[in-house]
Chains A and B, each alone.
Chain A
Amino acid sequence: MIETLLILFAPLIGGLMYGFERKLRARMQNRQGPPLLQPFYDMWKLIDKQAFIVNPYHTILGVMHFITLWIVVAFIILGQNLLYVIFLHLLSTIFIILAGFSVKSIYSHIGSNRELQAMIAYEPILIMVAVGFFMKHGSFDISVIRENGALLASLFLLFLAFLMVMQIKLKKSPFDATEAHQEIVGGVEVEFSGVFFEFIYMAKWLEYAFVYLLLMLFAGNNIFLGIGLFLGVFLLVNLVDNATARIKMKHLLRIVLAIGLTLGMWNLIGLAYV
């Protein structure tokens, strides 16, 4: 019952998180910031607005991106296979990349290219996180991970690598070259308008839910650790976002692959031999 409710309201919870984050970021910059429900005001406005359809595939792929992401979040909440969740999330990213390539806009193409490069950077780390959980529990099932104790200590290096993935997935500085609002005007989302942009906008909220749900897995069955982890990382992500500048795409690839992969491999080798 509670799982069904969580799945149904997952975009709304993500939206609340997004609104709270905008407020928090504004307070960090010593300004008042938009109201807490601002993402939902944006949602109603976008529904009311005229929508331009560039081509049918573009809009359909955008909607597919949203739906697939919702299914991914649902699978995490239901406690399905972690590896399957990660690959399904990959599929949803592929949809938005295809949507970006299906229009003629150059910004859209650059955004899709960067999204692909970012995927090369973060996907191995996500899979290594799954492998790390498998080596401890002997199962990829999220329900098994949730029933057992916290793995934050034994997967600490993977956790550090996962923090870098969070910056990429949430499109935060220094790893927000995929979106880059001042430079390529949002990248893949540039040609969406009206209600179809709304799906992309809500997919962003679902991305929040996805990333933070994955983060909570590190806490296992320890609810207080999970909440503490969520709050701490939420603050940290926004602090880093406010305090750093954007880096170039090739530097993103280099840094995330060099540091993240190394940390992850150390952790996996440690788990295998210690």
Chain B
Amino acid sequence: MFDLKKYRKKSPWILHYNAGSCNGCDIEILASLAPKYDLERFGVINTGNPKQSDIFLVTGPVTYRSRERLVELYTQMPEPKVVIAVGSCSCTGGVFRDMVNVEDGVDRYIPVDVYVAGCATSPELIIDGVVKALEILEQKTKEMEKPLKLFREATLENSIVNRRHTALKVGEKDEEN
């Protein structure tokens, strides 16, 4: 039968989110999309629109303020999707690990498929990571993957929906139990 799945890895569209990164990895991502490394030869487009993208590239150690946006962007992406944590910070927290304002990596909030190490990581490694992610993307189903930290209810303040604290803090769920 005509298999649509094999076309997934031929046109991966990228959403790039900076979760409090120092911009080192962002520059490397842009370098890998630019003419020298030319990720576009694999059909990659940097869409910047979560509703039309397949690969979620996250840089940065996920600061306290950016975690809600991270989860929201992740839930706005249609299935199938893969997440790549780019750089040491987004893998483990890097040099910012255990700091007050830092949540120690992306995988505390959303399921990560590929970890790309390095501070800052190199364009070659990012391309390797994207190619590896394409293999995973081909295996995925259209079933919904849930972010690890689920949303709280959005609060209503002065008849304005407030989403500021919709994501749970790390360990907050355990405290409640």
Contacts and interface: CB of A to CB of B under 8 A. Distances in A.
Interface stretch (B41-49, B98-106, B168-176): B41-49
A32 B11 contact: no
21 contacts: A30-B35, A31-B35, A31-B38, A31-B41, A38-B10, A41-B43, A42-B43, A45-B7, A45-B11, A48-B5, A48-B7, A50-B78, A50-B79, A52-B76, A181-B47, A185-B49, A191-B51, A192-B52, A193-B51, A193-B52, A197-B51
User: In this complex, which of A48, A191, A194 has the most chain B Cβ atoms within 10 angstroms of its Cβ?
Assistant: A48
Interface residues of A, number: 30
A272 B10 CA distance: 55
Interface string B69-87: 0000000101110000000
A56 to B, nearest CB: 17
Contacts of A190: 49, 51
Given A31-B41, A41-B10, A51 B52 contact: no
B164 interface: no
Contacts of B35: 29-31
Interface of A is mostly: loop
Interface of B: 4-5, 7-8, 10-11, 35-36, 38, 40-43, 47-49, 51-52, 54, 76, 78-80, 142
Give the most central of B5, B10, B49, B52: most A CB within 10 Å.
Answer: B52
Given A45-B7, A48-B7, A182-B48, A194 B78 contact: yes
Residue among A30, A50, A181 with the most chain B CB within 10 A? A50
B43 A35 contact: yes
A45 B48 CA distance: 18
B78 A181 contact: no
A79 interface: no
A95 to B, nearest CB: 20
A192 B76 CA distance: 12
A191 B140 CA distance: 24
Nearest to A193: B51
Interface string A171-198: 0000000000110011000111110010
Contacts of B54: 45, 49
Contacts of B52: 192-193, 197
A44 interface: yes
A181 B80 contact: no
